[in-house]
Structure 1
């Protein structure tokens, strides 16, 4: 029988499990099984030590999804696990894709502080979602994400973030220090759209090919001014406008722009579509659409 290379494991919530002398039972999966895994999805809110001890045996893992959806938060304490992990932290030498689901802000920071993944290319973080007024803050995520990429020496190419609130200075610090990004997706992320006045695609994100701003509440967007995106895509301004403004002719790396607005009321997209013609003339694929506020499905996360 060939070895198992993909495992999807959903464990009962910790609150429903009988403890032994106040402790949860250990999660035991034979090392021979873990060592062959290439894809591992783990839904678990047990003690962080259980999760780390399991993962450190996954030396061939390429795709990892961690789902912490429960009322009790999983904590990863670096001091507590120093003896369990090597001095280099949680080394996953072949990991390319890391996805977090239903995480609290501290869980992301604590796990990334332990991670050493030199081949990591994609990071996908989904916060615990309640509604727009109760999103968790992505506090200090910028520093912890950047520190993890530096520690592992990886080249992060794809970043997806869902259902959190970002301070502009932290989001700017994150994006301006990830020049290798080729694809950026912010879905139902609350942030100040004026950040595009500071970010320039050709300067901060020279390799960006796809930008997706999804499920932007119209209450946050208001009358979304395309001038903000014009400034972001400065290199995409057609040559006739470049000459008038004295701008050096450059070609933007961005090939696709996708906007999805969530509408609490009927939304007229025609002004946005008219504004997108300038990008389309430069060869960029532009998609603008809206979704009803009360029918959007969050269950696929």
Structure 2
């Protein structure tokens, strides 16, 4: 067996007299099973690091790891030794954190993944506030893992995040080729977090090939996105046709979808920049309609 899914009883269930007991609960798992796994899904809302060390400490061959926190806050002692030493997952290529609440992203302090290719963080939509930080734990995890040469895909879903925090996170990802932002809640348009360019500086995400902006608000203002697209595929018009500054740029695909709302049309797919990139720039563009209910 190389694939395994484990769901542990909730820390609020009858399995524990008190939720704090989950911090010290034993988790007897066969070492030889863990060593054979290439795909491991773990659904657990326990506190502390003991369960993580027991479940992941022998996962030397795991390539795809999913940890589902079941929408519960992960509490831990800041003095726990594992936060300093870390768990090395030497073959991990895809890491998915699901049903995360804001500060639970600190679990990345426990992990090291030197071969990581894809990082997917999916937040629980019932926990929506701005009083937390994404950039520090994520960028520290990348620094500690030293996965700069391998990490290429980042997916962030349903996070409620400050503009400056998302901007700081994306500035630390110049090597990304695929970015997904889905259902993001921000105090300003999130695309502005990495569109800003001053005095000829290179745009954020210079190696980006695919951008997925999913579940946009219907009132999404497209101008910053259009500036971002043109920054990645700069051109000027001559006799009504575009001349690209860098015809061989890596950016090749844009996907945009919108949340359901009352009847309203979107203007993005009628913009000059989008049509130039589709017709002459070799960029595959898929922009969904703004869906509505009467």
2:141 aligns with one of 141, 148, 151 = 148
Decide whether the 8 Å contact of 1:89 with 1:116 is kept in 2. yes
Decide whether the 8 Å contact of 2:94 with 2:116 is kept in 1. yes
- The separation in 2 between residues aligned to 1:234 and 1:160, in whole angstroms, is 22
Matched, 1:238 2:235: yes
- The separation in 2 between residues aligned to 1:228 and 1:138, in whole angstroms, is 26
- The separation in 1 between residues aligned to 2:201 and 2:211, in whole angstroms, is 10
1:179 aligns with one of 174, 188, 206 = 174
Decide whether the 8 Å contact of 1:238 with 1:282 is kept in 2. no
Taking a change above 3 Å as real, the CA distance of residues 186 and 28 of structure 1, as seen in their structure-2 partners, is same
1:102 aligns with one of 85, 99, 104 = 99
- The separation in 2 between residues aligned to 1:189 and 1:120, in whole angstroms, is 24
Taking a change above 3 Å as real, the CA distance of residues 287 and 257 of structure 1, as seen in their structure-2 partners, is same
State the partner residue of 2:153. Answer: 158
Matched, 1:289 2:288: yes
- The separation in 1 between residues aligned to 2:226 and 2:77, in whole angstroms, is 41
State the partner residue of 1:124. Answer: 120
Partner of 2:36: helix, strand, or coil?
A: coil
Partner of 1:233: helix, strand, or coil?
A: helix
2:192 aligns with one of 169, 191, 194 = 194
Taking a change above 3 Å as real, the CA distance of residues 29 and 226 of structure 1, as seen in their structure-2 partners, is same
- The separation in 2 between residues aligned to 1:54 and 1:228, in whole angstroms, is 42
Taking a change above 3 Å as real, the CA distance of residues 86 and 259 of structure 1, as seen in their structure-2 partners, is closer
Stretches of structure 2 lacking an aligned partner (at least 5 in a row): none
State the aligned residue count: 278
State the partner residue of 2:86. Answer: 89
1:15 aligns with one of 12, 17, 25 = 12
- The separation in 1 between residues aligned to 2:228 and 2:100, in whole angstroms, is 33
Cα-Cα RMSD? 2.9
- The separation in 2 between residues aligned to 1:207 and 1:165, in whole angstroms, is 26
Stretches of structure 1 lacking an aligned partner (at least 5 in a row): 295-301
State the partner residue of 2:212. Answer: 212
Taking a change above 3 Å as real, the CA distance of residues 234 and 23 of structure 1, as seen in their structure-2 partners, is closer
Decide whether the 8 Å contact of 2:83 with 2:110 is kept in 1. no
1:56-84 CA-partner distances (Å, limit 9, x unpaired): 111111111011115x422243422x1xx
- Please say which of residues 176-185 and 137-146 is displaced more in the overlay: 137-146
1:105-141 CA-partner distances (Å, limit 9, x unpaired): 21112x11121111111110111113xxx62438321
Decide whether the 8 Å contact of 1:235 with 1:250 is kept in 2. no
Decide whether the 8 Å contact of 1:230 with 1:237 is kept in 2. no
- The separation in 1 between residues aligned to 2:158 and 2:246, in whole angstroms, is 37
User: Under a length normalisation based on structure 1, what TM-score does the superposition of the two structures give?
Assistant: 0.82
User: Under a length normalisation based on structure 2, what TM-score does the superposition of the two structures give?
Assistant: 0.84
State the partner residue of 1:279. Answer: 277
